[in-house]
Amino acid sequence: MRALITDTEMADPDIERKLLEAAGFEVTVGHCKTEADVIACAQGMDALLVTYAPVTAAVFAACPSVRMISRHGIGVDSIDTDAALEHGVWVSNVPDYGYDEVPTHAISLLFSLLRHITFHDRQVRSGVWNFAQTGRIDRIADMTLGIVGLGRLGRFTMELCRPFFKHVAAFDPFLPDDKWPAGVEKCSLEEVFQKANAISLHLPLNADTRHIVNQQLLSCIPERGAYLVNTSRGGLTDLDAVLAALDSGRLRGVGLDVLPVEPPAPDHPILHHPRAIVTPHAAFYSTESVLDLRHKFAVNVVAWKREGVAPNAVVRGHVAATA
C-alpha cells in the first residue's frame, strides 16, 4: 500500500515514515499547498497524511484510490468531509494531543490581557514607567469568565481558570444537560458576550461557526468592554469586526493564537494594534505534544490498514483497507 504525507512542517518526518514503513506502506513526502498539488501527488495513493493541504471534492473525484486520510491535529476544516463520506473515505484526526498545552496557552493569553502584562511591557520598553498608563485594570475575582465550547479543551480551560473568577457563563449547544458542569451558567452565545468580562473560544471551524464572532455578536458586549482569546481556529473571527471593536473599546484586548490567514501580512493592522497579543499558532506546541501528535497521526493510518477501521474517525468510510 502507498501513503502520501501531503505536507509537513517537519524537516524530516522520520517518526511518521518509520511507523508507516514498518506497517508495510511505501511512503512519499510531498510539498502540497494547493488542490492541484494534492491531485498531482495523490495518484495511486491509498492513504493521505495531511497537515494544511486542502483535500477538496475535486481531490476525491480525481484520486479514487485514496481510502484513508489522517489529519495532523484536531480540526478537519481543510478536508471536505461531505465529499469524503460520499466517496466512502475514512477521515481521522488527533483529538487527544496538546491537552495541557492548548488550555495553558489560552489562560496565559487571558491573564496577560487581564493584568495588562504585554501592554505594560510595551510601555516600559518605550520608556514609560507608569502602572496606570495602560488603562483600567479590574479585579479578576469580581469577573465573569465566558467559555464558548465545552469540549475537551474548553472544559479544561474553564476548570483551570474557574478558581480565579466569581462566575462562569458558557455556551455549548451540543452538550446535554446531564453532562453540563455544575455551577456553570448555561447561556446562549449572545448571553455569554453580554455577561462575560473575559471570553475564550473553543469551537471547531465549519459553515456554522465561520465568522461567528462578528460585528453583531461583538455589539452584545456592554460598554464596560470585554477581553477575547482565540486558540481554536482563525476563521471563527471576523478580524475587521474585531479591530473595530478594539478601536471602539468594546473589546479591551484580544489574544489570538490563530488567524484567518497564516502567517498574516507583516502590515496587517492586528499585528500593530496596541491592545492585541498575537502568537504564531503555537498553543498546541511543546516538545512532548509534537512527538505525541506525530505518533498518533501516523498510527491512525497504521491501525486502519491492520484492522480495517480507523481510530478517531471523523468520517467512517465504507471501503475497508486491504493489504
**262 counts as catalytic:** yes
pTM of the predicted model as reported, rounded to 2 decimal places: 0.88
β-bridge mates for residue 28, sequence order: 4
User: Residues 122, 210, 273, 281: which is the catalytic one?
Assistant: 281
Q: 181 preceded by cis ω (within 30°)? A: no
**86 counts as catalytic:** no
**281 counts as catalytic:** yes
β-bridge mates for residue 11, sequence order: none
Q: Is 202 helix (H, G, I), strand (E, B) or coil?
A: coil
Among 120, 102, 211, residue whose Cα is nearest residue 160: 102
Q: Per residue of the chain (323 residues), what is the pLDDT tens digit?
A: 999 999 998 989 999 999 999 999 999 999 999 999 999 999 999 999 999 999 999 999 999 999 999 999 988 999 999 999 999 999 999 988 878 999 999 999 999 999 999 999 999 999 999 999 999 999 999 999 999 999 999 999 999 999 999 999 999 999 999 999 999 999 999 999 999 999 999 999 999 999 999 999 999 999 999 999 999 999 999 999 999 999 999 999 999 999 999 999 999 999 999 999 999 999 999 999 999 999 999 999 999 999 999 999 999 998 665 54
Q: How far apart are CA 188 and CA 157, in angstroms?
A: 19
Question: What domains can you pick out in the chain, each with its CATH number?
Answer: 2-97+286-315 (3.40.50.720), 101-278 (3.40.50.720)
Q: How far apart are CA 95 and CA 316, in angstroms?
A: 16
User: Residues 26, 190, 262, 288: which is the catalytic one?
Assistant: 262
User: Residues 233, 250, 275, 294: which is the catalytic one?
Assistant: 233
